[in-house]
Amino acid sequence: MPSPFGLLAELTYACPLHCAYCSNPLNLADYRDELSTEDWKRVIGEARALGVLQLHLSGGEPLQRRDVVEIVRFGTDLGMYTNLITSALGLSRRRAEDLRAAGLDHVQISVQADEPASSDRIAGTASFARKAEAARLVKELGWPLTLNVVLHRQNIDRIGEILELAEQLDADRVELANTQYYGWAWRNRDALLPSRAQLERSERIVREQRERLQGMEIIHVLPDYYSDYPKACMGGWAQRQLTVAPNGDALPCPTAQSLPLPRASVREHSLAWIWRESPLFNAFRGVDWMPELCRSCVRRDEDFGGCRCQAFQMTGDASRTDPICHLSPDRGLVDEAIRAVNEDERVVVGELIPRPHPRDQR
């Protein structure tokens, strides 16, 4: 069995943003009992012993945790590569300097659009100016800077301008990843799923900008819905990475809490036992679980049957062939969604439902 390479530590689901594409759980009120600082240190130490080399600190907004500097320092002292994934709200100069002194290696800042009005509307709060200021601070302090941009129907037509913003902010890397339709994003799918024409234009623009911006790494992830085959989700179920949620739930991927499978909690078991022995992490390893359509497919070791969360989201059965696959008996569910947004070449901007604050979900 392989050792995990990366740990995504979701320190808290508290967040100052209300993004309509958020893929975190819908029931945020169930995650208020967060792991303590000492709990996180134990988990990170167990992860390092298991072979984890990269520690990604996320949420929600990890900067909402007062102990984030202490957690970064602990991971650094263990020799792990530490990466902060943040909205940048809360990244003051003092906090940034403390994180730098603690050994933080890399900063990823989420950006919703290239100009204030659209960015603030999509984020559900005024944040564009503070993000730009924080990005400049990151570069001033000598960190490599990644900008994360979730693409969708509301901003994909500005992809050229988004890359121009990345150039202005001197980003080293840009992740242009189309929305994954889980959590709150599922509720907003009709307003977020881009048309085929939009995607074709965006691909052309990205190719052109890659030629021009050769010093900047540009990652462009197309939406599953327009593919013939599913992606190899997370490099295969419980093969390379694992996630620990704020309440201590250990997960093979960040959205697996939606699946009707036995829980695995770091409050109850060691991370080594969870990775190697737990029913959750072994549920979809290998090929024995696969339906025959996947089990005999020549791509089974390439895409690993696709995304289990997506299969469950669309069909109610996590063990079915991912409906993205054109061979799936459920592919019609995907085709219908695509048809609905491509009936008219004019793409109408739909009404987004902003993610409510956790305090509103009591």
Binding positions = 15, 19, 22
d(CA 303, CA 79): 32
Radius of gyration of the chain (CA): 20
Torsion sign, CA atoms 175, 178, 179, 181? negative
Cα separation, 242 vs 9, in Å, equals 9
Token look-up 């002194």 returns 101
Nearest to 175 by CA among 154, 156, 149: 149
**Angle of CA points 282, 61, 30, to nearest 5°:** 55
Calculate the CA dihedral of residues 254, 351, 343, 328 and round it to 10 degrees.
Answer: 20
Tokens of 21: 């594409």
Measured CA distances, 78 to 66, 70, 73, 239 (Å): 21, 13, 9, 22
Q: CA-to-CA distance for 183 and 180, rounded, in angstroms?
A: 9
Annotated binding site for [4Fe-4S] cluster: 15, 19, 22
C-alpha distances out from residue 319 to 50, 277, 278, 303, Å: 28, 20, 18, 14
Query: Is the distance from CB of 244 to CB of 263 less than 8 angstroms?
Result: no
Residue pair 308/257 in contact by the 8 Å Cβ criterion:
no
